[in-house]
Structure 1
Amino acid sequence: MVSPHVLTIRERFQINGELLEVASFETHLENFLSRLDSIGDMRVSYFEVTTALAFWIFEREQVECAVVEVGLGGLIDPTNTITRPDKIGLISAISLDHTEILGDTVEEIASEKAGIAQPANCVYVIEQSSSVLSTIESVAVARGAEVRIVPVQGEARLPGNYDRRNHLLAAAGAAHALEQLGRASDATPGPVLPAPVGRFDFAEVAPGSGLLVDGAHNQDELRALGARIASSQLEDFRIALAFTDTTDEKLAGMLDAISSMGAPMAVTAYRSRLGGMKRAADPLRVGAIAADRGIRLHIEPSAPLAFQWALEGPSPKGLVAGSLYLAAEAIVWADERTRRNA
């Protein structure tokens, strides 16, 4: 189970890397909602409902081992209702995100994330700062879990190679799960899988032309994206960006990170089409913060106009970043343009 989804809710409930067929998903959803109705009125969030739906689907599809992505933090996250002793925890690199809920330092956030540990669990943590590692170990061990550090080696140490670091972490967890299932011999190294939808994803508009879409949406992620762009062959590109509404300080940090790429930028707002979507930051406000920091950008009144502007630069490829919501809109826009050009 992953979240959020970008193009379809079925992205959350993949089995063996494949989306459920529409008819199968609709049957599961209908039966699940019928069961909820029989329980009566409940005050639950969208994420709580989709988490319960994932467990419902996985049980009925006879899934042997479920990969469940935590929504926010760990300690009080709905996914922490999994209390089995054979649960395996995976904690990736920690950055300053959702600080209004998880804490103002990486150590405070690490403490919240380590709360996913339950008695007799094994928690794998990707190698990172000693203060974060010691915090995670202290909290997890106090909760009765074992902690194992996954070393970062080779190309995974390069700036921006977060997908390779995540691959190392996932491989360690998968090997442990196969051992639990009595199938340790199946644990063979595999290739780095394609990035999820909206993560360094190329949305083609015409042959050789399109948008490189990445949902990086905090300062650390945007800096990592910049490092990855610098090591790629993308040059003379333009950036279309939008941010989720947040504090001036966080917007300033993200602008500093993305402006370090040295590319022309246009800020816009994504369309809030779903009730659970967070509101986009006002482009005029973002523009004012940028001006105060000496960062040049211009404002596009709509996301489609920003995407078009990004493709009109010297490079036939533009970059879209700052929000997964904007990433989803860019992918849909590019697909519509491709079909019109066919």
Structure 2
Amino acid sequence: MEAYEQRADTHVTYFEVTAALAFSIFATAAVDVAVVEVGLGGRLDATNVLTSSVSVITGIDIDHTEFLGTRIGEIATEKVAIVGRDGTLVTGPLPEQAIEAVTQHVESSNANWIKFGVDFAVEDAVVAVGGHQATIEGIFGRYEDLILRIHGRHQVDNLATSIATSELFIGQELDHHALALAVESITSPGRLEVVSRRPVVILDGAHNVQGFRGLAATLLDEFPALGWRLVLGIRGERDVEELVAPLNGLVSVVYATQAEDDAALDAADVAAKAGTALGVVAEVAPNVKEAIALAQQSAGSEGGVVVAGSLYLVGEAVAEFSSSRDRTSEAHVRFDAPRFDDTDDDGDEYVDRFDELDSIE
């Protein structure tokens, strides 16, 4: 890598190196399907070296403005560039300001655009225990009464988008039983994740305005009014007041802190700005663990605590509740993948090493 940097007179980022390693591993393993998430934007992202069968944009909002631009249209232009010539694009709900940029790229690349609310939709969704029960009208099929055990109404839209994407990928209706089992097993660690009950503690990696809007809507629609204590840590070039504004009226106290992250904003500055924006008392805690402890003590057994503002913050918070987060599922062991090859590349008989391991006592 150092030789390449010297020869090309350029710097290779950590993400570029890890992406290249991942793609190399995928190629060596000859994976049948790879679901690859863009790191930042899309047009210049390391993942954009791939040619995808289906490209997906779940939503677009203001984020990473120092790289992607300050307007929705600019950000949409960066994101939609993942769609190649004659490609297929699936989009979730998009803001009106993004439509023009997406339309221009789709037309110029002769892509097939599958739209939420037009080609597929959420037919019905109601709050259920731990999440939602939803009926999705897909492209090739209708999927009734799916149980999605994660919080946030926007996650139902994401589910519909993922179902449409899967249908397009395989070119047919999905197996209803397999889908229902898979959906019920879905987890989203650190995304509106309830990790404690007395008090209720929610970990949410919301770190942009869109995420905080979703957090606020979920607290209003899916939880009782608990006078939430907010453990807040923010990183990067973000407007603290704008970020936390959706939580106005929902939060009673802010405990600002910093994760072990070089890009974390100063906790005292975050406390001052968040307290002013929300009109509440804001205290500073020296670290994530103590911030959570203070918030829990303040909430008591009947209150609620939200940890939000940064994935780094939530990552550290996870360690405080790790024993309560295991939720195993049969979804990935009940269905065996068919094996079509009985010999390897050299013509030798194929040996299932997992069967060998099972025979060892």
TM interval, short-chain normalised: 0.7 to 0.9
Which letter does structure 1 place at the counterpart of 2:257? T
User: Is 1:240–1:321's contact at 8 Å kept on the other side of the alignment?
Assistant: yes
* Matches for 1:1-342 after TM superposition, within 5 Å: 43-83=11-51, 87-151=53-117, 152-154=121-123, 160-179=152-171, 184=172, 186-188=174-176, 189-190=179-180, 191=183, 194-204=186-196, 208-209=198-199, 211-234=201-224, 235-247=226-238, 250-272=239-261, 278-293=262-277, 295-296=279-280, 297-312=282-297, 313-314=299-300, 315=302, 317-335=304-322
Q: CA deviation at 1:227?
A: 0.6
Structure 2 distance, partners of 1:119, 1:255, is 40
Whole-angstrom CA distance in 2 between matches of 1:106 and 1:185: 34
1:21: which partner in 2? none
Deviation at 1:233, TM superposition (A): 2.7
Equivalent-residue separation in structure 2 for 1:68 and 1:185 (angstroms): 23
Tell me which of the two structures has the higher relative contact order, counting C-alpha pairs closer than 8 angstroms and 6 or more residues apart: 1
The C-alpha deviation readout for 1:34-89, integer Å capped at 9, x for no partner, is xx689786731111112112212222333211110011111111111013xx5211
The alignment's TM-score, normalised by the length of structure 2, stands at 0.72
Q: Distance in 2 between matches of 1:203 and 1:157?
A: 22
Letter in 1 for 2:267: P
Q: CA deviation at 1:295?
A: 2.5
> Matched residue of 2:191: which SS?
coil
Q: Shift in Å at residue 321 of structure 1?
A: 0.6
SS at match of 1:69: coil
The answer (yes or no) to whether the contact 1:127–1:133 under 8 Å persists in 2 is no
What's the CA shift string for 1:1-58, capped at 9, x where partnerless? Answer: xxxxxxxxxxxxxxxxxxxxxxxxxxxxxxxxxxx68978673111111211221222
What are the Cα deviations for residues 105-150 of structure 1, in whole angstroms up to 9, with x where unaligned?
1111111111111112100111333332232121122123221112
Distance verdict in 2 for CA 1:157–1:111, change over 3 Å: farther
Distance 1:121 1:305 in 2: 49
Moved more, 40-49 or 222-231: 40-49
The structural deviation recorded for 1:308 is: 0.4
Deviation digits for residues 250-269 of structure 1 (CA, Å, limit 9, x no counterpart): 11101222334233221111
Structure 1 vs Structure 2: percent identity of aligned residues? 26
Q: 1:269 to 1:165 in 2, by over 3 A?
A: same
Alpha-carbon displacement from aligned partner over 1:151-183 (angstroms, at most 9, x marks no partner)? 24345699952211111111111111112xxxx
SS of corresponding position for 2:306: strand
Greater percentage in helix? 1
Q: Does the aligned pair in 1 maintain the 2:195–2:321 contact within 8 Å?
A: yes
State how far apart, in whole Å, the 1-side matches of 2:245 and 2:314 are.
20
CA distance in structure 2 between the partners assigned to 1:47 and 1:187 by the alignment: 36
Distance 1:317 1:95 in 2: 28
Residue identity in the other structure for 1:198: G
Conserved? CA contact 1:210–1:334, under 8 Å: no
- In 2, Cα distance between equivalents of 1:233 and 1:160: 11
Instruction: Report the CA distance shift for 1:337/1:115 in structure 2 as closer, same or farther (over 3 A).
Output: closer
Instruction: Give 2:306's aligned amino acid.
Output: L
For 1:287-335, what per-residue CA distance to the aligned partner results, in whole angstroms no more than 9, with x for missing partners?
2323554632221122111110121113364211111111010111223
**Residue 144 (structure 2) aligns with:** none
* Structure-2 separation of matches of 1:237 and 1:114: 37
Specify every segment of 5 or more residues in structure 2 that has no aligned partner in the other structure, as ranges: 128-150, 326-361
Q: How many residue pairs end up in the alignment?
A: 288
Query: 1:337 & 1:174 partners in 2: Cα distance?
Result: 31
SS class of match (2:315):
helix
Question: What is the rounded CA distance, in whole Å, between the counterparts of 1:135 and 1:40 in structure 2?
Answer: 34
Report the AA paired with residue 311 of structure 1: Q
User: Do the aligned residues in 2 keep the contact of 1:164 with 1:192 (CA within 8 Å)?
Assistant: no
